[in-house]
């Protein structure tokens, strides 16, 4: 069995953090410069924070689900391989 581990480069990690930071700053500046009441800006800020939070949570949940399925499939493959070895073992002796 071959593990398919994805290794991200240091540059890619810096790029993703920089992209997130730039997007957060742009969103904050957009809300700050919005011609609306203070309470409306507060609601926009809360919804933006909630959107970022749910996006991170959704991404983590989907990744965890994928990784658990990989582990489950590896366990099933090992069980199948063991059964095949048990079945074929006496014939080869």
**CA–CA gap between residue 79 and residue 73 (Å, rounded):** 10
Q: Which residue has the tokens 């581990």?
A: 5
Task: Give 10-57 pLDDT, tens digit per residue.
Answer: 998 899 999 999 999 999 999 999 999 999 999 999 999 999 999 999
Q: How far is residue 30's CA from residue 83's CA, in Å, rounded to a whole number?
A: 61
Whether this prediction's pTM lies above 0.75 is answered by no
Pick the residue with more confidence: 56 or 74?
A: 56
């Amino acid at each position: 069995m071959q593990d398919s581990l994805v290794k991200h480069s240091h540059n890619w990690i810096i790029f993703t953090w920089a992209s997130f930071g730039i997007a957060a700053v742009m969103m904050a500046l957009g809300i700050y410069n919005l011609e609306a009441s203070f309470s409306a800006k507060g609601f926009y800020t809360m919804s933006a924070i909630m959107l970022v939070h749910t996006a991170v949570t959704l991404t983590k949940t989907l990744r965890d689900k994928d990784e658990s399925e990989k582990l489950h499939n590896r366990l099933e493959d090992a069980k199948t391989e063991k059964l095949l070895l048990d079945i074929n073992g006496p014939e080869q002796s």
